[in-house]
Amino acid sequence: MPLNLQENLPAIELLKKEHIFVMDSLRASEQDIRPLRVVVLNLMPLKITTETDLVRLLSNTPLQIELEFMKIKGHTPKNTPIEHMKKFYKDFDYMKNDFYDGMIITGAPVEQMPFEEVSYWEEVTEIFNWAREHVTSTLYICWAAQAGLYHFYGVPKYDLPAKMFGVFRHTLREPYLPIFRGFDDEFYVPHSRHTEIRRDDIMKVPELTLLSESEKSGVYMVMARGGREFFITGHSEYSPYTLNDEYVRDMNKGLPISIPYNYYRDNDPALGPVVRWRGHANLLFTNWLNYYVYQETPFDVKDIKNLGSL
């Protein structure tokens, strides 16, 4: 089934060039199917790029999905046309009485600020609280993952000595959970961040389950409330050239930045990237939609382990 999007969303034309089938809301209304309702709180600076990255992954499922975009009322983005925001995004106030099957909350370029000093902290935590009552399952990505873990569970973040930047190998701690169905024992994920959360802090909180980590990039995925919440520190949704664009941007600004780890062929920017994460990124989003958004079944880790041993 296709992904239902608002008419004229830029992602539609971009993804048609990749032979990904999406359709606008008018055509979707002609089908007698109740789609899954998914809302995205997009806090990333390049809104259209992030929209396209997420639509690409959400479209890779037999489920029909109706996608909406939410924005922070008290923040005006600098890198996206106002016309685009007015046409495709709604303030939280207009959506807070609705219910959704799934929600995705993205990263934001504020990770080196204390949480409480972020200008929209009060509104974003109100949305976090709202999601617990109005959304079946929520994916918190990068800064949002750190913010959600801090807000709900008191997990701190720590500054890194250098930016965690590149494509890192990860392993599974809970391989029998449905979120990892089809995953290999090792898989790769892009990371791009200046701060981290630490496994020792996660392990102190009984309500949290550490699902996946990396020897080099640390904690990757944490689950809470039986899969009602996933906190993901990396960027599985990144397109092939996103890390390259960030690298060139920082180089041009004269910022201290290293070549992205394990990203370019032969570690040479002139040779372009080697995409190592696309397959598992598609599995991640498909499994989340199918087993935690669509089926609405909470998964207890102990029960899954027992089933896996049969």
The residues assigned a catalytic role are: 142, 235, 237
Residue 242 to residue 49: CA distance in whole angstroms: 9
Strands (E), the chain: 3-5, 22-24, 36-41, 65-71, 89-91, 100-105, 135-141, 158-172, 186-196, 208-214, 218-224, 229-232
Is the torsion defined by CA of 265, 246, 151, 284 positive or negative?
negative
For the chain, the residue count is: 310
Question: Which of 108, 135, 104, 133 shows the shortest CA–CA distance to 120?
Answer: 108
Mark 158-195 as b/e (b = at least 16 C-beta within 10 Å): eeeeebbbbbbebebbbbbbbbbeebeeebbbbbbbbb
- Identify whether the C-beta of residue 201 lies closer than 8 Å to the C-beta of residue 219: no
Cross-strand bridge partners of residue 172: 212
- Identify whether the C-beta of residue 22 lies closer than 8 Å to the C-beta of residue 3: yes
Residue 3 to residue 64: CA distance in whole angstroms: 6
Residue 140 to residue 152: CA distance in whole angstroms: 12
Question: Which of 202, 102, 91 shows the shortest CA–CA distance to 152?
Answer: 202
- Identify whether the C-beta of residue 48 lies closer than 8 Å to the C-beta of residue 84: yes
- Identify whether the C-beta of residue 105 lies closer than 8 Å to the C-beta of residue 43: yes
Residue 305: both structure tokens together: 């382990």
